[in-house]
Chain A
Amino acid sequence: MTNIEKLQQAFIAALELGDDEFNDALAYNQHPSWDSSAHMILVAELEACFDIMLDTDDIIDMSSVAKAKEILAKYELKF
């Protein structure tokens, strides 16, 4: 599975998205499903999928799919 597929899978699981809803513009508190609970699940999913431990600032700053890719790049993950 590629990194982008893992990322998509994590978002779909955490936010209970349809396949066509995953895109770079998807943002925290703009999509009705991306609330505090979904964000908690998303962090757990990403850490499990990519075997990483996110910093506190990165957890809070992860406010869109595009931003998630940018943050995950700091953990040597390429998309």
Chain B
Amino acid sequence: MIEGFGFLLREVKSTDLEQLRVWRNRDDIRLNMLDQRVISSQMQQAWYNKIQEAKDQLNLVISYQGNAIGAANLKTTADNLNNEDLEPGFYIGDESLRGSMLAFAPAILLNDLAFERFNARGLYAQVLITNKAALKFNKLLGYMVENEDNSWVSMKLTKDAHERASAGMRKILQRWDK
């Protein structure tokens, strides 16, 4: 689907489901999500069946050096992803890369995909106000705060801001392009 910096973002396969579910249900991942339910095998399978035909979302596995290390997605409230406002999301499940600077690589690739492949008008993120690391991470990616309440911060990324903010990081991350 898209690759760079030693990472590949590819479509989800049925053989990925159990690993994704294990990561998704971990408290350190689940509790930063809008939907914080624990996902059963049946729910996971139902989700997989649904995304096979879905045009309003793209669900991907993040792979690093050939191994699945996390998940990413693009969603819209419109009928399909083309030329719309999109909401990207991703998490790193692999412990060796969680909290690593290399997490910027799949984030930049996902944003590239949104702007280049789907011609997104803008990217929007809802971040828990207590998730300071994610807020800082998104700001470094170029996101600007649009609104905040007692629980959530709404952020927006434009294509120009994405290109400006990612330029310096690409120079560093390109060293992993081998």
Contacts and interface: CB of A to CB of B under 8 A. Distances in A.
Interface of A: 29, 35-41, 43-44, 47, 55-56, 59-60
Contact of B99 (A29, A40, A59): A29
Contacts of A38: 136
B14 interface: no
Nearest to A57: B175
A43 B140 contact: no
B104 A36 contact: yes
A37 B137 contact: yes
A43 B172 contact: yes
A41 B139 CA distance: 12
A56 B175 contact: yes
A59 B133 contact: no
A43 B140 CA distance: 14
Nearest to B173: A40
Contact of A36 (B103, B168, B172, B175): B103
Interface in B109-166: 133, 136-137, 139-140
A27 to B, nearest CB: 13
